[in-house]
Amino acid sequence: MGADVMVQQLRKPHRRTGLAAAATFGAWCVAGALDGPLAAQNREHQQMAAELRMLQEQQQQLALTLAQVIEALKVIPTRIDDASAAMRKGFADQELRVGALSGDVGLIRERTQDTDTRLRSLRDEVDALRATLTALQSQLTQLAQAPAPSLDPLDLSSNVAPAAPATPTAPPVSTTGLSPSRMLDSAKSDYFASQFTLALSGFEAILRTFPRTESASEAQFYIGETHSSQQRWNDAIAAYTQVIQNYPSSGNVPEAYYKRGRAYENLGQGDAARASWELVIKTYPESTAATLAKQGLDRLSRKPAP
């Protein structure tokens, strides 16, 4: 209460004694003195309560946000699984496509190789026909240039039997008009029938007539096989070496290395066999001949030293 109120109370007539009036006045003074700090403390309490309410509201908002985050996190594994499944499916589809493309490429490569083989065969056929025509033309030319026998009855020399005209040397019947592939098939048939003399003649005829064809490299290889079948190891080594030296790009080279090593092994020349096998392993590591050569080296390593 204010000082004006206290003065008005003192001015009123009262039956209290002076002591009671003084006490009342002192209480009012104390109340007036305490009125300022209590009001300030009350305002602080109100401010703190307001801040507390704000903190509670923020806490509720944080709790709501946290709940939303938790719900969102629960969905993430499902989405990750879905994305992973989609990626796996995509990879599987790509693998299928790549596999299909690889198959198509392999088929195209096989067809291309088959076409190349047919073209080479046709080229060999044409070369064979050209050689035959050349031989026939040479024969016709020689026949046309040969002198005709005399038919004059007064000519005493007519009583003598006319000499037969010189007949030009014709190409062997087995090679006339034949392509290298046909000649090779015929010679290989003789080889597999153990007709080694005929087989050698056929293989050597290919080398004489068509020395630059693929059939020539195979014929040279089979010459080595023919000698090996007869256990003529030195001749076989020479034939296999000719394959390696004369036809380095041929597919028969890896097996020629291996078979040459076998021939050396049969002659008891282990070091030479090992050298030949190591060459094929180094040069053609993915070939079947390399696998066989590794077996040969293992076999040599198990043999006791002489």
Q: How many helices (H) and strands (E) does the chain have?
A: 9, 0
197 vs 105, residue with greater confidence? 197
> What number is the average pLDDT over the span 115-119?
65
C-alpha Rg value of the chain to the nearest Å = 58
Average pLDDT, the chain: 79
Q: What pLDDT is stored for residue 164 in this prediction?
A: 45
Backbone angles phi, psi at 101, to 5 degrees: -65, -40
Instruction: Tell me how many degrees the CA angle 247-299-295 measures, rounded to the nearest 5.
Output: 50
User: pLDDT per residue over 162-180, tens digit each?
Assistant: 444 444 443 443 455 578 8
Q: Can you give the pTM of this predicted structure?
A: 0.51
The residue among 137, 160, 164 whose CA lies nearest residue 148 is: 164
- Over 50: is that where the pLDDT of 85 sits? yes
Burial state string for 121-156 with b = 16 or more CB within 10 A and e = fewer than 16: beebbebbeebeeebeeeeeeeeeeeeeeeeeeeee
C-beta separation of 234 from 257 below 8 A: no
The residue among 247, 246, 282, 279 whose CA lies nearest residue 260 is: 279
User: pLDDT per residue over 222-281, tens digit each?
Assistant: 999 999 999 999 999 999 999 999 999 999 999 999 999 999 999 999 999 999 999 999
C-beta separation of 186 from 151 below 8 A: no
